[in-house]
Amino acid sequence: MLESPAITEVKRLRSLGAEIGEGTLIFGRVDVSVNYPNFIKIGKCCLIASEAILLSHGYPHNWLPLVVGDNCYVGFRAIVLPGAIIADNCVVGAGAVVPKTLKVAEWSLIVGNPAVLKVLNRDRHKIFVDHMKTFVNA
């Protein structure tokens, strides 16, 4: 049986030192700080969409941890900058740019450039999380 490319990418990043929780999938071409993956922590049951960028380092030589909590979705072409901490059960919208200065609480919808917080519809997000758990356990 062939393995999903989303699972293959998770295994590759784990082998480089990134901490990625069970049930997390990384789809398409996602740019991750592969030079400093040990500064990246992604929680359980997350989905990282195609062309997202997750950075744990900046210039010149400043390495900051990047944290994505459990049950999060990072949208297409979203950029999460070094030092950003995204709480559990959050959605980062497509194209959003998340700086370290944004204080992200649980159940936030993060949109825009620069990113701003909106209230996330918990019922709809729970449907997404339940679907992800079913998909991963299939």
Give per-residue pLDDT as tens, 28-79. Answer: 778 877 677 888 999 999 999 999 999 888 776 678 889 999 999 999 999 9
Q: Which residues are CB-contacts of 96 (< 8 A; sequence separation ≥ 6)? A: 75, 78, 79, 110, 111, 112, 113, 115
Task: Work out the pLDDT band at 21, boundaries 50, 70, 90.
Answer: very high
Say if residue 138's pLDDT is above 90.
Answer: no
User: The whole model's pTM is what?
Assistant: 0.86
Kindly report, residue by residue over 84-94, the tens digit of the pLDDT. 999 999 999 99
Q: Does domain 5-137 have CATH number 1.20.1560.10?
A: no
